[in-house]
Amino acid sequence: MTRSVSLSLAAALAIAGSGTSFTLPDASTIRSHNFSPLHSTVSQEVPASPWFTDDENTNQSTEKLKTQILQLGAALDRGQSYNPTSGDYYSSSMDTARSKIQSLIALSDPETNVPKSLDDIAGEWELVFTTVKHGIFRSSPFFLAVQEAFEYSEEKEAFGEDKATLFFKLHELQTCSWGASKIGRVAQRIDPKTGYLYSEFDTSIFSLTVIPILGWFKLLPTFGGCVVTASKAKLAEGGVLEMEVDYTTSRPVPGLQGLGEWIWSVKVPVGAVWKFLPWNKGRSADCSVTVKYVDEDFRIVEDKSGDLFVYSRPVVSRHLDI
């Protein structure tokens, strides 16, 4: 053990390349100084933070719950860390996060925290947490419309699983495996003047492409952009946000290489094509969520499957040129 410590010290100094002469301590010196992790001050008891611990004798406040939700969102990578396809690890953290969100909703005042018009939820919002499985991209109205379209299918299940869940699981496996694609910033902006909701999510392709075990260099350059879905939006009674997907386009992300200038001008008329797809039977690309809570800097919505999406006002705003 002593010899390995000495070798580690030598290796560290060699890598640092300081050029300073040194003498390794002998075994007796190391023992006399009692170099042991058991003597670390880390083991000393640290007072618990009132913001991140729960006390049965203390009522939960709105600000405390918001802080805890943001911390859980950071720890769980906005909810992506919990993936039931891979396993049940982090499931308890996800359950705790859902409980915190529901507690915040329970503290809300229907008169002030449930929006009455698009003006009450106008502006730019960034996704900070979601309980949804198999991809945070599912906050987009396009994927919400896909989810609701499966409700009209004659058979609700395939291979013993809900069809919508199976679709999103397969989509996630196809697009995110082996670092082929990675989801970055996810945001929404609501414009009451035009009656449109613009959903954005950044995607980078080939961000982690290497030969596993054998290689340590990128095989392909990273490129991508921001996918934008534009939807007509209106707010109904009870905070129900009704949307109809109109078109999908894309915009460049600063610092991320794109496919070419031509891609930014492409506009896919999703709404027009949607009705002609045989399984949609002439229906529009409609979807809806319920705004369960909103204040000056927080917004919580719930989709029809009961999953929750938490948005906050961005610290770093981004201009969207549409």
pLDDT digits (tens, 9 = 90+) for 47-98: 667 778 776 656 689 999 999 999 999 999 999 888 877 788 899 999 999 9
Domain for residue 139, yes or no?
A: yes
Q: How many structural domains comprise the chain?
A: 1
pLDDT at 33: 53
Domain for residue 322, yes or no?
A: no
Domain for residue 56, yes or no?
A: no
Band of pLDDT at residue 213, cut at 50, 70 and 90: low
pLDDT at 167: 58
pLDDT tens digits, one per residue of 219-241: 555 668 899 999 999 999 999 99
251-265, 268-282, 296-310: the lowest-pLDDT one: 251-265
Report pTM.
0.77
CA distance 159 to 169: 13
The 3-state secondary structure of the chain reads CHHHHHHHHHHHHHHHCCCCCCCCCCHHHHHHCCCCHHHCHHHCCCCCCCCCCCCCCCCCCHHHHHHHHHHHHHHCHHHCCCCCCCCCCCHHHHHHHHHHHHHHHHCCCHHHHCCCCHHHHCEEEEEEEECCCCCHHHHCHHHHHHHHHHHHCCCCEECCEEHHHHHHHHHHHHHHHHHCEEEEEEEEEEECCCCEEEEEEEEEECCCCCCCCCCCCCCCCCEEEEEEEEEEEEECHHHEEEEEEEEEEEECCCCCECCCHHHHHCCECHHHHHCCCHHHCCCCCEEEEEEEEECCCEEEEECCCCCEEEEECCCCCCCCCC
Domain for residue 4, yes or no?
A: no
CA distance 240 to 291: 6
Chain position carrying tokens 């919580």: 300
Tell me whether residue 58 is exposed, middle or buried, using C-beta atoms within 10 angstroms of its C-beta: 0 to 12, 13 to 18, 19 or more. Answer: exposed
**CB neighbour list of residue 53: distance below 8 Å, 6 or more residues apart:** none
**Residue 70 belongs to domain spanning:** 62-312
Per cent of the chain over pLDDT 70 is: 68
pLDDT at 2 over 90: no
Domain for residue 73, yes or no?
A: yes
Domain for residue 39, yes or no?
A: no
12-21, 71-80, 217-226, 285-294: the lowest-pLDDT one: 12-21
Across residues 169-188, what is the average pLDDT?
70
Domain for residue 319, yes or no?
A: no
Strand partners, 223: 205, 257
pLDDT at 272: 92
Band of pLDDT at residue 161, cut at 50, 70 and 90: low
Tell me whether residue 256 is exposed, middle or buried, using C-beta atoms within 10 angstroms of its C-beta: 0 to 12, 13 to 18, 19 or more. Answer: middle
pLDDT at 121 over 80: yes
Smallest CA-to-CA distance from 207 within 276, 253, 272 is with 253
What mean pLDDT value characterizes the chain? 80
pLDDT at 243 over 90: yes
Q: Dihedral, CA atoms, 142, 148, 154, 156, nearest 10 degrees?
A: 100
CA distance 316 to 271: 31
63 or 31: which leads in pLDDT: 63
71 or 218: which leads in pLDDT: 71
Domain for residue 32, yes or no?
A: no
Backbone angles phi, psi at 314, to 5 degrees: -75, 145
- On whether the CB atoms of residues 241 and 204 are closer than 8 A, the answer is no
pLDDT at 223: 60
Band of pLDDT at residue 9, cut at 50, 70 and 90: very low
